Amino acid sequence: MSRKKKTSSKRRMAGPVPKGLPPNCLTKSLLKKHNFTNSQRRVVITGYGMITPLGKNTEETFENASNGRSGIDFISSFETKGLPCRIGGEVDDACLNNNSENSQAQRLEKFSSRALKLLRIATLEAVQQAKLNKVTNREKIGVSIGTHGDNPKVEDMMFLHKFYDGNGNWDMKRLTQAGGYSYLKFFRRKPDVAASILSKLFNCKGHNFSLVSACAAGSQAIGEAYKVIQEGKCDVMIAGGGEATLDFTGLMGFVLLKALTEKYKTPQTASRPFDRRRNGFVLSEGAGVVILEELEHARSRGIPISGELFGYGSSADAYRITDTHPKGEGAKIAMRRALEDASISSDNIDCINAHGTSTQQNDLTETRAIKEIFGEKAEGIPVYSNKSMLGHTIAAAGAIEFILTLIGINRSILLPTINYDHPDPKCDLDYVPNEARSKKHRKAISNSFGFGGQNSCLCLGEYEK
């Protein structure tokens, strides 16, 4: 009678790859030859949650995305008349009224910005799925959140300027007596508040991070949390990102940068990653949160495991503060590092959830970077962009896309890149155009490339016992 091979919670990890060897050379024989024996704790996913323009939770968002629906529409939360871009991905205000939160959450309501409210909803879904309330050692649970806080409201700025005389003097006495400006208006805009409030709300006393790295923030928050668990500093991490800067101040900033789409027939067809007629991204809002957990810790609790995070790569373009490197240098570094960190050959990657913003520059440079990393195999790898349906949720994007990738793996569904109507000869990969595809796939990477050249790549896949 044959005995079952004993599995280990520690994964054989490669150290630095010898110079001159591409990541697809990471074979078992090479690992043995170079004696790469550094063991790391395995990190799995035991919970996830989100709230997006496509749905009030994960299931609703994935269902709508798998049907190729768009969450983009005309902006209703503020006046946009006269602006060159009047569309966005808004979360329905009705979804923010979460009656399942406890009394402590209600007491913290006054401290919560819109982004934090979104994060609270996404985190609650993830925490409940992972049954995190049953973990007794709260010092080994940490929080890692990518967010930028809220923008100052135009009304608040107008109010404050009533107490300025135009000659360099502020009338603080009159401002104080007016009583119309609370310290909470300042507090809620701070990007570190989200991680602080979430740690209090869910009693997490371990490592606490706030990441502010533009479009890469949510992905980097997950990646850095993964490293904390690998290093044994925490057993569980709440990680993800949230964004709610779809307001006049936020929209105007991107309008002035000429980053938003200004040409569209309908809001739903405006975001068109990799399409020849793409002309800018669509600003959106939302939140996505995952529960990362050390494998043995999860096993000891008997909690269902949704997947495994194998590797994380991060980089900087060191190029321009508003442009990505035209050759995708930073993107290539991030993808290469994620594969090296995972000790996974590029030949074993079955699909790529692209950053895919629908801008001319990003989609072209990302395509070039993918081709260089994956070589001839790039033509056969499905590459899709969730932003075609969700718009760009900035700090939340990497976390939301990570979760959607994970669910797609578990259900053998490749989500579509909608609005792909005019092929671009310079972007010539398989972008899963317009309709979801049923296909078994086990391992994927998810890309997030931020303004200022901040890049992140996560390698994830099925959990293998």
Question: Helix, strand or coil for residue 449?
Answer: strand
In Å, how far are 115, 158, 174, 178 from 195, measured between CA atoms?
12, 30, 34, 32
Catalytic positions, written as ranges: 215, 355, 392
Other CB atoms within 10 A of residue 239 CB: 34
What does each C-alpha distance from 168 to 161, 165, 177, 179 come to in angstroms?
A: 11, 7, 20, 22
73 beta partners: 88
Token pair of 343 as six digits: 């000790």
Residue 283 identity (one-letter amino acid): L
* Side-chain-facing half-sphere of 315: CA atoms under 13 Å: 22
Are 230 and 313 in contact by the 8 Å Cβ rule? The answer is no
3 state SS of 129: helix
Cα distance between residue 275 and residue 419, in whole Å? 8
Phi and psi, residue 129, nearest 5°: -65, -40
What are the residues whose beta carbons fall under 8 Å from the beta carbon of 391, sequence distance 6 or more?
Answer: 53, 71, 72, 88, 89, 271, 281, 282, 283, 284
Closest-CA residue to 219 (of 335, 307, 88)? 335
By the 8 A CB rule, do 341 and 333 touch? no
Q: What is the DSSP letter of 316?
A: E
Whole-Å CA distances, 296 to 37, 74, 178, 441: 20, 48, 57, 25
Q: Which two structure tokens, joined as six digits, stand for 313?
A: 């790569």
Half-sphere exposure of 464 (CA within 13 A, CB side): 10
Q: Is residue 225 helix, strand or coil?
A: helix
Rounded Cα distance between 203 and 148, Å, is 23
* CB 398, CB 456: distance < 8 Å: yes
